[in-house]
Amino acid sequence: MAEKTEKDLSIVISLYNEEESLQELTDWIVSVMNREGYAYEIIMVDDGSRDSSWKIVRELASGNPCIRGISFRRNYGKSAALYEGFHAAEGKVVVTMDADLQDSPEEIPEMYRMITRDGFDIVSGWKQHRQDNKLTKNLPSKLYNATARCITGIKLHDMNCGLKAYRKEVVKSIEVYGEMHRYIPYLAKNAGYDKITEKPVKHQKRKYGKSKFGIERFVNGFLDLLSLWFLSRFGKKPMHFFGFSGILMFLTGGFIALWLIIDKLVQQSQGLNFRPVTDQPLFYLALVAILLGAQLFMTGFICELISRSSSDRNHYNIKDQF
């Protein structure tokens, strides 16, 4: 039996109700791939579309053996689509792009060379000149990306750009879930793949349909970023956060309560007018701090027990060995 040839590129496309653009997008990608002479595959993941998107994908695949399709029974979200696409990808370089024709396939060859020739793990697209509404997309996007750069330490101007290229080992070493597709570079960095750069890419106006994402994605994205930061810092050592916070709060409350009691006793011993400890609001705040401190400490202890029982507690990415 003939040996299976490794593909140069896997292009993973997550789509949801994009029936108008699929034929044009596929023709464009195939044109670029044939021109460059790549051995490629196009993996289209239909995220529970309600239109005829899946029917069109099947028709496209019947005329081109390089096209593969995955269809969800319902809409799970982009992260789930990318997870399945990454799992199925066989190419040395994996490229993700949206199906709405706003990402240009003409950018793929240079991104591929930056991975294979320049040695980067990830090349992220940067839509310098966005064709979106400035008030609802551009300004929130700038604030969102500034926050992401500050928290993650990754200097990307457009963390949320759908057009990205990855070394195959990267996508096989990370797990994308929830709505974490926005932070794949951060997931990769935490997995040890820190050769991350960006490439300015052309951003085109949406030609068909309307955007599937609203302004709420920036709020959800910020919350997801905080969750990811916390898990990356304290996921395997929760006691370092909860225990430290609990001890600090417990000691602070205890010190305040002790100080109030000693101050009352000193004034009483000197025959001075004194205010009963239980009449002071600060005493009750101190008691609250003591109780919260104890609860935080116990939360950290329980989280530590759960973490030690986790099946991946000793899962590490090994770069090389001999």
Determine, yes or no, domain membership for 318.
no
Tell me which of 192, 208, 233 is where a domain ends. Answer: 233
Of 184, 213, 233, which residue sits at a domain end? 233
Question: What predicted TM-score, i.e. pTM, was given to this entire model?
Answer: 0.74
User: How do residues 148-182 score in pLDDT, each as one tens digit?
Assistant: 888 888 888 888 888 999 999 999 998 888 778 88
Instruction: Tell me if 83 is assigned to some domain.
Output: yes
Q: Total domain count for the chain?
A: 2
For the cut 60, the answer to whether the pLDDT of residue 73 exceeds it is yes
208 and 248: one domain?
no
What is the phi-psi region of residue 195: left when phi exceeds 0, alpha when psi lies from -120 to 50, beta otherwise?
beta
Q: What is the pLDDT of residue 300?
A: 86
Q: What range defines the domain where residue 166 resides?
A: 9-233
Q: How far is CA 207 from CA 31, 132, 215, 272, in A?
A: 19, 12, 20, 82
Q: What is the pLDDT of residue 226?
A: 77
Same domain flag for 37 and 184: yes
Q: Centre a 10 Å sphere on the Cβ of residue 268 and count the other Cβ atoms it contains.
A: 12
Backbone angles phi, psi at 129, to 5 degrees: -120, 90
User: Are 93 and 229 in a shared domain?
Assistant: yes
pLDDT digits 0-9 by tens, 221-275: 677 777 777 777 776 788 888 888 999 999 999 999 999 999 888 888 887 787 8
Same-domain check for residues 152 and 256: no
For residues 219 and 282, membership in a common domain is answered with no
Q: Mind listing the pLDDT tens digit for each residue in 106-144?
A: 999 999 999 999 999 999 999 877 666 555 566 777 777
- 171-128-213 Cα angle (round to 5): 65
- 322 in a structural domain: no
Residue 183 · residue 144 · CB < 8 Å: no
Instruction: Examine the domain organization and report whether 291 and 211 are in the same domain.
Output: no
pLDDT in tens, 270-292: 877 878 888 889 999 999 999 99
Residues 29-50 have pLDDT tens digits of 999 999 999 999 999 999 999 9
* pLDDT value, residue 312: 60
Answer with the residue of higher pLDDT: 313 or 70: 70
Q: How many CB atoms lie within 10 A of CB 57?
A: 27
Of 233, 251, 285, the position where a domain reaches its end is 233
